[in-house]
Homo-oligomer: A and B are copies of this chain.
Amino acid sequence: MDEALQARLNRMFYPSSIAVIGAGNAPDKVGHAIMDSIITGGFKGRIYPVHPRHESVLGLPVFRSLDRLPEVPDLAVVALNQYSTVQATRALSEMGVGGASIIAGGYAEMGEEGRQLQNDLQVAAGDMPVVGPNTLGFLNTWADLNVTFYPRVLRRGMVSFLSQSGGIGLALKGKADDEGLGFSKWIGVGNRVNLEFHTLLEFLANDPHTNVIGIFAEGCSDPRKLMSTIRSVTERKPVIFYKGGRGKGADRVTISHTGAAAGEDAIWNGALIQAGAEVVYSAPEMIAVCKALSIARRPEGKKIGIFTHTAGPSIVAWDILQEIPGCELSNLKPETLDRIAEILGPSVPVVYKNPVDGAAGAFLAAPYHDIAEAILADPSVDVLLAIFCEHKNWPYPSDALIDLAKKYPKPIIACFIGTVQKIEPNRRQLHEAGVPTYVMPEEAAHGLAALLKR
C-alpha cells in the first residue's frame, strides 16, 4: 500500500478529532445514535457535531457548517440522505479531512440510478478514503472509537473484522461479547466506493493491534486482487473467511444488498483455500476460530491429548478434529499412563488411554492439575484439549490450567461446559493466560482445528 494512503488510513482509524455531519437530538435517529456511540465508546479526542439548526447535542456545542469547525477533522461521519451526502463528501474532501464514514444507503444496491449516484459519490470523495456508503460505520477499540450508529461497550482484543453486512457484523460482535473475545477493528465495508476489501485487508495486515483477521463477504469487485492480497497476508496473519450468498437464488437476495452478486460458491471456496484463508460457515464458527488463533500459541505438531471427566465431549470433539489432515490422538507413553493411574488411584474405574477420562477422579482441581500436567509433559503430545463441566461444588480448574500454561510451552484449549454467562470470570483469567476457553465442545474443536492447520 502506498505510504500516503497508509498514513491517511491511520489518521482516520486513529483520529484525534471527529466531525459528525447530521448530528441530532432525536434518540431514534441515526445522527443521534452516532454521537451516542462516540461518547459511549469512550472516545478521548475532540468531537464536533455539525447541524445547521441545533444548538447542542448530548451536551456538546453544535457547529452550523463545516467552514465553522475550529480545525480540519481527522475523521468525518456523514449521516445525511444519499443526495446531501454527495455534496458533503465533496466539501470534506476539499477541506482535506483524513477520511469519512458514510452511512446512507440508496446507491449501487438500487439499480442504474443508484449506481450513477454512487459514481458521483466516488468522484466527490476524490483521494479521501471512505468507509461505506451503506454501512453501520466502524469501530477501533484501540482508539476507544465507535462511529457506528450502534452504541456499544467496547472490549479490546487482537481480532479485526471486515463485514459486508452490518447485521452479520453485529452477530459477530454479539457472539464475541458472549464468548469473552475482545476485538481490535470492526469495519462495515458497505458498498465500498474507494476502500475495497483488499485495501482494508492490507491496512489490517500492517496494524500492530491486529493478529487475526475475519472477513464476512457476499462478493466484491475484484476477487482476483482480494485473493492475491489474502495470499500475502496469510503469511503473516491468519485470515478467516465467511462467505454469504452460497446457495441457489443467492443473487436474488444479495444483489439488492450492497450491489454485488454473490458469485459461484465452489469457485470462491477453492480460491480462498488456495490463498491460505480459513473458511468458516457460520458466525459462531468464525468467533470460535478467531478466538483460538488470537489467544493461543501455535502447536509444534498435530498430536493432541484430550483430558476430560466426561467422555461425550471428547467424542464429538474428535469427530471434528479427525477431519484435519495429519491430526492424531497421541499415543501416550507408558510412563504417562502409569502416572495417571497413580494420580487416580485404584478406586476410580477407568481405562487408561487418550482421550484421558478421569471420571470422578478428575472432579477436584488438584488431581485435574496433575493429570493435565502428566499429559502435557508427555513428549508425544503437542497440544492439550482440557474439558470440564460447570458444577456448584467443584469449581472449574482454571488455576490449574493457568499454572500449566506458565510451565509448558504447548498450547492448551479449555472446554468449560456450562453457560456463557457464568463462565465469564474463569474465561477472562484463562484468556489472559493464553488459554482460549469455550462452553460448547464443538466450538472448542473448531478452534483447536484451526490451530492445527496453521
Q: Which residues of chain B come closer than 8 Å to A420, judged between CB atoms?
A: 178, 420-421
A440 within 8 A of B: yes
A166 within 8 A of B: yes
Q: In the complex, A244 Cα to B347 Cα: how many Å?
A: 28
Q: Which residues of chain B come closer than 8 Å to A216, judged between CB atoms?
A: 312
Q: In the complex, A263 Cα to B258 Cα: how many Å?
A: 47
Q: In the complex, A322 Cα to B282 Cα: how many Å?
A: 16
Task: Kindly name the residue among A111, A309, A359 whose own CB sees the greatest number of chain B CB atoms within 10 A.
Answer: A359
A53 to chain B, nearest CB (A): 18
A253 within 8 A of B: yes
Contacting pair B282 A174 (CB below 8 A): no
Give the residue of B166, B257, B418 whose beta carbon is less than 8 angstroms from that of A315. Answer: B257
A99 within 8 A of B: no
Contacting pair B282 A440 (CB below 8 A): yes
Q: In the complex, A168 Cα to B27 Cα: how many Å?
A: 45
Contacting pair B329 A252 (CB below 8 A): yes
Asked, given contacts A359-B105, A389-B166, whether A28 binds B364 with beta carbons under 8 Å apart, the answer is yes
Total contacting residues, chain A, CB less than 8 A? 93
Contacting pair A167 B308 (CB below 8 A): yes
Asked, given contacts A174-B418, A319-B247, A394-B28, whether A284 binds B165 with beta carbons under 8 Å apart, the answer is no
Q: List 16 A-B contacts (CB under 8 A).
A: A27-B393, A150-B392, A151-B391, A165-B312, A167-B312, A167-B389, A167-B417, A170-B389, A170-B390, A171-B312, A178-B420, A218-B315, A244-B315, A245-B319, A282-B442, A284-B442
Enumerate chain A interface residues (CB-CB to B < 8 A): 27-28, 30, 32-33, 36, 40, 81-82, 104-106, 109-111, 114, 150-152, 163-171, 174-175, 177-178, 216, 218, 244-250, 252-254, 256-258, 262, 282-284, 308-316, 318-319, 322-323, 329, 347, 349-351, 353, 355, 357, 359-360, 363-364, 387, 389-394, 417-421, 439-443
